[in-house]
Amino acid sequence: MLTVEAAQRAVMGRVGPLPLRSRPLGEASGCVLGEEVLADLDQPPFDKSQVDGFAVRAADLRGDDRWLMLGEEIAAGRPPTRPLGPREAAAIMTGAPLPPGADAVVMIEKTQRVEGRVLVAAEGVRPGQNYLARGREIRAGEAVLRPGGRLNAAAIGLLASVGRTEVVVVPRPRVVVVPTGDELVEPDRVPGPGQIRNSNAAMLRALVLGGGADAEALPIAPDEPGPLAEVLGRGLAADVLLITGGVSAGTRDLVPGTLERLGVAPVFHKVRLRPGKPLWFGVGPPRSEAPGALVFGLPGNPVSGIVGFLLFVRPALDALAARTGGGPPITAHRLLRPCSHVGDRPTYHPARLVEAGDGPALEPLDWAGSSDLRTVAGADGFAILPEGEHTFEPGEIVNFLPLG
């Protein structure tokens, strides 16, 4: 059985960035840019007032005479109709173009308007004040974004400002979630005898969205070879196929055999951890324009699914999207209270982070085992307790796998 670290290497060794694609700007947020982006225009495209006030010639206000004649009014979006004459002021709004001849703007608060004339306060007026000169931010033809950076909200705005509606990026991975199990009913149903609600599909979808990928959940697949193969086959068109249930040792655990018959090459089955040991991983047949789907068979117990997702799937999503991360973001913390643990595998135990003076300390939570979502819903992640028999004292340092 592989250790967690060996299994992570086996996954990460088979994942690379998805092929570049042109995407609409509205779908590119958070993606890694795949092209150099050039500005099509100067920005600002004209000398632009940064305040509401009066466009002036600074030289007119060097002496004691602070009175100017009031000329035209220039609003944002309405270019001036004529140059500014000597000893003239044009009323100008924030964002409006300066008239030719003007070289400064005086804020409205420093002026007084009296019957066709403007009195400017007795303080220096510098050429260049209160406006942005054309091209001050960006020159036409200049590279404004380079490939490899992640598109944050400002970058999306910048792309819009240089006229881009599409952009070449490493696309968001597409994940298909397939819940399996004859006992499952959808959450809007009241379970009959022996049935339970499908909580994993909604949970995994939430994890996938939080991992910066797109998720689609397919309907529940029964534990029957034919219908199971049909649903899993559809999922192989995605970048990642996430299956829950059907990977353990029961007679109705048909997922591994069905995947192999569909041409998915198995890489490993079972990992040394708790909860989540029966995890299965393989790679689907190559697709027309992308490598084969990464196929994860997560055990059906919900907490096993979360742990498997955090350890193996989320880092793979990062790698597909070309985001650097290099694995789960494990941190180390002091224990808040004593904790004893016996186990033949490393155990991921639900825990809260509690502020304790000098940084957050770990509080392991009592839980009912790998189906206990209620406890994990109030946890911040998992304390990683090593295999063997251990008694941990308060203050001892323990590793932690965050949920968020």
Check binding of 222 to ligand AMP (CB under 6 A): no
- Kindly state the number of chain residues that form the binding site for Mg ion, as judged by CB under 5 A: 4
The amino acid at 27: E
Which residue in 99, 179, 181, 211 binds Mg ion (CB under 5 A)? Answer: 181
CB-based contacts of 233-237 (< 8 A; 24+ apart in sequence): 233/262, 234/176, 235/176, 235/178, 235/293, 235/295, 236/262, 236/264, 236/284, 236/285, 236/287, 236/292, 236/293, 236/295, 237/176, 237/287, 237/293
Site for ligand AMP in 251-270 (CB under 6 A): 253
Q: Which stretch binds ligand AMP (CB under 6 A): 33-41, 154-162, 177-185, 360-368?
A: 177-185
Distance from C-alpha of 124 to C-alpha of 111, rounded to nearest angstrom: 13
Which residue in 43, 130, 258, 301 binds ligand AMP (CB under 6 A)? Answer: 301
- Kindly state the number of chain residues that form the binding site for ligand AMP, as judged by CB under 6 A: 20
Distance from C-alpha of 147 to C-alpha of 168, rounded to nearest angstrom: 9
* Partner from ligand AMP, Mg ion, none binding residue 258, C-beta < 5-8 Å depending on class: none
Q: x/- site string to ligand AMP, residues 141 to 160, per CB under 6 A?
A: --------------------
**Is the CB of 246 or the CB of 308 nearer to Mg ion?**
246
Check binding of 299 to ligand AMP (CB under 6 A): yes
What DSSP letter does each residue of 126-164 carry, written as one string?
Answer: -TTTTEEPTTSSB-TT-EEE-TT-B--HHHHHHHHHTT-
Check binding of 293 to ligand AMP (CB under 6 A): no
**179: which 2 tokens?**
């819940």
* Partner from Mg ion, ligand AMP, none binding residue 244, C-beta < 5-8 Å depending on class: ligand AMP
Q: Hunting for tokens 């050039």 — which residue is that?
A: 38
Check binding of 297 to ligand AMP (CB under 6 A): no
Q: Hunting for tokens 């998805």 — which residue is that?
A: 18
Tell the smallest beta-carbon distance from residue 217 to ligand AMP (Å).
Answer: 10
Going by C-alpha positions, the residue among 177, 403, 382 that lies closest to residue 300 is 177
> 217 and 177 in contact (C-beta within 8 Å)?
yes
Q: Hunting for tokens 């084969």 — which residue is that?
A: 292
Which residue in 44, 284, 300, 350 binds ligand AMP (CB under 6 A)? Answer: 300
Check binding of 245 to Mg ion (CB under 5 A): yes
Q: Which stretch binds ligand AMP (CB under 6 A): 15-23, 156-164, 243-251, 286-294?
A: 243-251
Going by C-alpha positions, the residue among 174, 178, 368, 158 that lies closest to residue 275 is 368
Distance from C-alpha of 128 to C-alpha of 130, rounded to nearest angstrom: 7
Q: Which stretch binds ligand AMP (CB under 6 A): 115-123, 282-290, 294-302, 309-317?
A: 294-302
**Is the CB of 191 or the CB of 286 nearer to Mg ion?**
191
Point out which residues bind ligand AMP (CB under 6 A).
179, 181, 183-184, 196, 198-201, 244-248, 250, 253, 299-302
